[in-house]
Structure 1
Amino acid sequence: MRESVFRESSAEPRTQSVPLAHLSLELGHLYAEDFEAGPERLREHFAEVRLWADATRASAARRTGGKRPRVSTCFLVDDYFTRFSTPADLVPVVLAEAERAGLVIDYLARESGCAEADRLEPARSVLHRLVESPPPGSHGLRPPVAVTGWLSNGQRTPAARRAMSEAPAWQPPRETAARNHSVFMDVELWSEEEGGRRLWSCPFLAAVWQLARLGLLRHLGEPVLTPQPWTDGAFPERWDRLPPLIQLNGSAAPFSAYRTCTLLPNRFLPVEDAVRIILDQTDVDAGALRQITERSVHEGVRVPPAVAQRATYVFYEAPSALSSGAT
């Protein structure tokens, strides 16, 4: 006689799915000094971005077999490292300059939402999901990333021995998955401020942002950093009064997508290199990953197995840098 098996329903966590576009296209992620330079800097930025946005949409259409792809746009404001201006003053200028260039911003996010959003801490949650790739020949002597706050893509140069001992021969760092030669990187994920407050690094918050755009952030199976419709008209005077992620266009494609493309000035290249190292060593929610993979197959838009490969970039040289002679 077959025995009945009883389980608590709470013992079977269910992963909630999220709507998905084909592509999440980020139209900007600028620093405080870019906004302080005035509308002209934003005008230059969006004029350049428009060229690449059109090409990116065409590429997305090719991936969907010529069908019109679902593409949503987003813009990230850095209110985490520097609190400047106000949403009431800044957001209308951003939207106006984007519109001048023929662009529509569907979703606007605050970078601080990648650290704390809706009483959750997405950054700390992702930290707990980091799984370091052990370099060949390592013996577990390096403290874990949760202790050091540093994540690398290989074996660091061994530390020198103590005084009075034989000095070892210098050894170079080694990339774990090197092809012929190593490209070694060591990424700082956070620093400690006075009072013990943890200040998350720009690459780490950007990795959280990528996971949100790829629909892979979950807390107890529930989506994290979900867009809130903005119908209040005027924007508030304080950043804390603005939800972490707002939907500005009611007819927009979903915020999260199978793939992301980020359009940035080329000075962001080191940051985004670091983002990919973080994504490569993040054990994302298995249920969310399975859902997206199955849906992509059903739609005929297969995605790469590696999460980091789902994020693409276009880096351009800012016109202002060309005119000023800056590098």
Structure 2
Amino acid sequence: MSNLAITDAIAPSTAAKPFLTRLGAGFVNRLVIIVPYVWLLFFFLIPFVIVFKISLSQTAIAMPPYTPVLDFRDGISGFFAGFRNLNFDNYVWLTQDALYFKAYITSVVIAAISTVLTLLVGYPIAYGMARAPATIRPTLLMLVILPFWTSFLIRVYAWIGILKPEGLLNQLLLSLHIINQPLVILNTYTAIFIGIVYSYLPFMVLPLYSSLEKMDYSLIEAAKDLGCPPTSAFWKITFPLSLPGVIAGCLLVFIPAVGEFVIPDLLGGSSTLMIGKTLWNEFFANRDWPVSSAVAVILLLLLTVPIMLFQQAQAKAQEQGK
């Protein structure tokens, strides 16, 4: 076979390579986009639909303890016929009982205060980490993540030993003659704030550190050269540039803190009224799954809708800025 024939035989395969490369790259790009949506479908949307379906049902002494309204066992016609029997009595019940309203309000207030406290504690830590020498930043980052190597439940139980009247904190304060009698910290809202700030502090520090580390600190030096005081330079340059990390950290702390159950139950005592404990009691103590599902749906909407509105407002502000 001549060299010209060999070249003609190879040319099509060579020309096909860019096409195959583009096809493979396109598939990978689509896969990267599809995987998160599939994840949200199976672990968020489908469970939400199931919980919403239970919230429209009626309580029953059975297993499970509710009477399904929409059921495919009766066929498609029976499923659509069930729409005529749908009612929102469980949601109406939540508006008539002040207990649930107080639980929602208390949860939002505690989560908001805890988020502010976590920001006040976490911002100096993240700022110090970002300004530290590059050689020790990985060590500092590991120290922030280190508590996650221990069980969350064990860490909360450890705070019981620290905060109880005969615990380590009171023993230390008594030995230093700072107090004359043990402080009552456990089973109070103060203990809840301490537990939430301690448990969720890494979720605040990590986004803040990510934003502060990328900041161009030559802007601070330029502001000092122009006579700007350090405090003014911080509020005019550093803090505005770190706002993405502040927003991300606040959301990562506030959202789980609203529905927190373990910390209020162990550190706050039985008198603490938060929606997480109310949800637990409805599910497992009262076994009222429809009402507890309605509580969960409203809690999810309470957290999701403001975030979606905030994202839309932020997207519009970015478009106007362009």
Structure of larger gyration radius: 2
Q: Which has the higher strand share?
A: 1
TM over 0.5: no
The structure in which a higher percent of residues are helix is 2
TM-score, scaled to structure 2: 0.25
